[in-house]
Structure 1
Amino acid sequence: MSAIVLNEKFEKASELALPESFSGINSHNLYLYVKSYQAALRANTASTKTRSEVSGGGKKPWAQKGKGGARAGSRRSPVFVGGGQAFGSKNNRNYDLKVNKKQKKLALKFALDALATQGKLFIVDSIEVASGKTKDAKAIFNALGQRDALFVKSILDEQTFLAFRNIQSAYLIEENELNAFLAATYRSVVIEKAVWENLVREAE
């Protein structure tokens, strides 16, 4: 598979073949990484009170016998309105899922290879909007002709960040922020040449 190399006008100039290490990767690596990534985003703040934590319930609601109904010992029981929650959620649960470094790399390579297969992986010398204007960044995005795009820059500068931040269908990140989840989320990815060379070097 090949990535599309763009010129400074973000038009197709040539193609660049992906290294062999990007092909033949099991898709399960991407599944495991995405599952771990989304689990880490959970706030884990939901917490309910058990019958030992709710207030009240000091007096027995009614006599043990003679009422003709079921016996009851406390208003804090889960069967009463305002009572404790049985088997409710607690915020002491650990949602972290371990993913090995090797699997993370394999997941990213699989996601990029899938994009290259669809002709949605682009490489350009530089992603820069010196003016800081959104209309100039929008022109770059429109030149791609894609529904949405992830732009990966080696070092993020303020002007380029300001230019891209208000474009809903485009997301600009630095090299160290690139991961398999983001690569799989967007329908196309534009990577600076320097970032791509680092990715290939690490893949070898």
Structure 2
Amino acid sequence: MKIHFKTFGCKVNQCETAQMQSKVLGIGCNLSNPENADIIVINSCTVTANADRKTKQYLRRCLRLNPNAKIYLTGCYVDRAGDEFKKDFSKSQTEQVFAPNRCSDIKFFKNSEKENILTVLGLLPSTVYRLPSTVFSNRTRAFVKIQDGCDGKCSYCVVPKVRPKLRSKKIDDVIKDVKNYVSAGHKEIVLCGIRLGKYKWRVASSEWRVVD
């Protein structure tokens, strides 16, 4: 099966796409361009109106290029305005504009469901391999997501509305990911999070924060 991933937005989104790619590669799927893909996964951003516009433009492009592909839309735009998006791209509307009787099956899933990408896509292997992601294979830097969520109350920012739950990655898993990327040849590791200052992980009597 051939799958195409497209990412908009921040380094956290890039990390989450990398994890999704690793999981589908681990069960024997191949990455592809949008024209030849069986499945297209678009990881959206909604931090600005321009980000919303780019996501919609890319979805329209995919519908034109490959009307038979199954398209899955995820990311912060879905969390913020999934119902609005479904209305804008309802099956009847897209059939009229793009490909009568051949419209792609557009499905939506939230940020919180990205970890279960294999289930979302209907791929249920007996064994899942954890692989270094190929998304960073041609780069010196690799990105490791260690934190998610923001509980800030900034009136100008939509992020706390779409990623409100504070979560920190286990320190052992952070170290494991870093070692995997170093083994893959990366010279620089960038720790990513929605609000890195909120990273916290307690082991016995010790508490780990980003500064440690």
TM-score when normalising by structure 2: 0.27
Which protein shows a greater Rg? 1
Structure number with higher relative contact order (C-alpha < 8 Å, ≥ 6 residues apart): 1
Higher strand share: 2
